[in-house]
Amino acid sequence: MTLSEYNKKRNFAVTREPKGKKVKSKNNRFVVQFHRARREHYDFRLEEDGVLISFAMPKGFSCSCHDKRLAVHVEDHPLEYISFEGRIPRGEYGAGTVEVFDKGRYEADGKISDGIERGEFKVTLYGEKLKGKWAFVHFKEDNFLAICEGGEVEKEMKRKLPFYDASVQLASLTNRLPNGKNYLFEIKYDGYRALSFIENGKVKLKSRNGKDFTKKFAIIAEDLGNSFKDRTMILDGEVVVFDKDGRSDFSSLQNSIKSGKNNFSYVVFDVLALDEDTRSMPLLERKKLLKDLSKFFTPNIILSEYVLGNGKECFEVAKKLGLEGIVAKKIDSKYSGTRNDDWLKIKCRRRQEFVIGGYTLKDGLLASLLLGYYKGEVLVCVGKVGTGFSQSLKEDLVKKLSKIKTKSAFTNCEEKEAIFVAPKFVAEVQYAEITNAQLLRQASFVALRTDKDPKEVVLEEV
C-alpha cells in the first residue's frame, strides 16, 4: 500500500499530519500510537525502505499466547509520522487525537513487506513498554493475527486520564428564567456534588472542594469501575438519596451515611473527559457523549435528563413536585470550572448555606445557631436558626461546636447569650426571606454541609 493512498485521504491544508514522501533510511524503528478516533485503536508502524508499514490494532498487543489480537494492514505512512502527536480535525480522515504510546527498535526474520506477501512474519520489539517477540499471521483480506511468542506488555496498554484534578462548574443564582432555545433545563438535585475520575476500572470520587468521597460512597465507585473497566473518563454529578416520592432529599442522604444503608444514587449530568479532555466541547456535544455512556450505567448510576427551552413550564412542574429548583445551562457553553452565567439556578424556595459562627443554649440544650456569610474577608451575621433540629442532632452539634469555642468572628453580632465558635462549619438553611435589617426570617435548619468550604459562603440573595 503506497504513500499515494495516504496522500489521497488527507487535506494537508487542514491537517497537521506530515505529507507523504519516501525518504532514505536504514533504521529499524517502530512506533505504537493510541488513536482516539470514531473507533479507538492502536496504530503499529514499522520503519522499512523509507516508509512506515502500518497496522491498525483495535486492542493493541497482548503478552498472552492464548490471546490473538487483530492487526489490519493499512496504507503506508511517511517516516515523519513516527513522532506525530496531536489532533486530526473533525471531517478529516481519522479525525480525533493521536498520541505516542511506545517506540523503540525492532528485529525481523527478513523484510516485513515480504512477510506480508507470504502471509506471515515475526518481529522482536525493543520498546519502552513493549518487549518481546510477536508473530503476525494472515487469515483473510488485509487482516492478520498478532500472537505473542514470549514477551511483556507494560501496563497492558492501559489508557491514562488527561488530568487528575478539576474545579467544578457552579451555577449563579437568579430569579429570572432565561428565554429561548439557547438553554437546556435540568432538575436541581439535593445531594453531594461529586466528580468521578475513572481510569481502567479504578475510580476516585472527589467532592467539589477536593475531599475524597470514594470510601463514603463505595457502592457508586464500585459500580462505575465495573461498568468502565477499559475506559478513562471524568464525570460530574450529584450523589443523592431519593425519598418515597422520588425526590432527592439531603436529610435522607445524611441519615443513609450514618446508618450505612448504601442506598445511594449518582445522577450524572456532565463529562469532563472521555479518554481526552472534553471541557472545551459545547454542552450539547458533551450531553451526547453521556447519552452513549448511559447504556452501560447500572441502576445506581442515573443519567440526568433535560429539556431544551420551555424553562417556564419546567419550573412550574418543579414547584408542583416540591423540588428544590431547576438549573438552566447554555447549550453551547464550555465547562470552565468556575461560577458564571453559563449555568443559572432558579430555586423554588429560598435556601442556601451559611457559616456557623456561634450558638445559644437553653437548659443545657441547643437553642439556636448563629449564622453568617462572607463579604470579602468579613463574616457578616445574618441572624439565627432555631428550628429543624432533632434531639440527637442538637446533642451532636453541641458536642462538635463546644470543641471550637473562641472569640466572635462576626463584625455585627450583639447576641448576649451567644457562645462563639471558629467559623469551621457550614449549615444549609431554608427561610422565608432576608428582611430589610438583613436578618433571616422563618429560618429552618436543613443539614450540615461538610462538602462546602466556609470561606466560599457568600450571600446568594438576588
Which one-letter DSSP state was computed for residue 218?
H
For residues 310 and 204, is the Cβ–Cβ distance under 8 A?
Answer: no
* Residue listed under C-alpha cell 497537521: 16
**The one catalytic residue among 188, 330, 384, 452:** 188
Cα separation, 369 vs 237, in Å, equals 30
Q: Please report, for the chain, how many H helices and E strands are present, in that order.
A: 7, 27
C-alpha cell at position 355: 457559616
Q: Which residues contact 304 (CB under 8 A, 6 or more apart)?
A: 186, 187, 189, 237, 267, 268, 269
Strands ordered across the beta sheet of 419-430: 378-385, 365-375, 351-362, 419-430, 444-448
Residues 346, 171: Cα–Cα separation, whole Å: 9
Q: How far apart are the first and last CA of the chain?
A: 66
Q: C-alpha grid cell for residue 141?
A: 483480506
According to DSSP, residue 299 is labeled T
Beta bridge partners of 154: none
Residue 46 near residue 30, CB atoms below 8 Å: yes
Tell me the C-alpha distance between 276 and 174, whole Å.
33
Strands 301-303 vs 265-274: parallel, antiparallel or unpaired? parallel
Distance, CA of 83 to CA of 232 (rounded, Å)? 24
User: Count of residues for the chain?
Assistant: 462
Q: Among this protein's residues, is 416 annotated catalytic?
A: no
Integer Cα distance of 258 and 320 in angstroms: 31
Q: Which residue, chain included where needed, has cell 427561610?
A: 431
DSSP 321-389: TT-SEEEEEETT----SSEEEEEEEEESS-EEEEEEEEEEEETTEEEEEEEEEEETTEEEEEEEE--S-
- Catalytic annotation, residues: 188
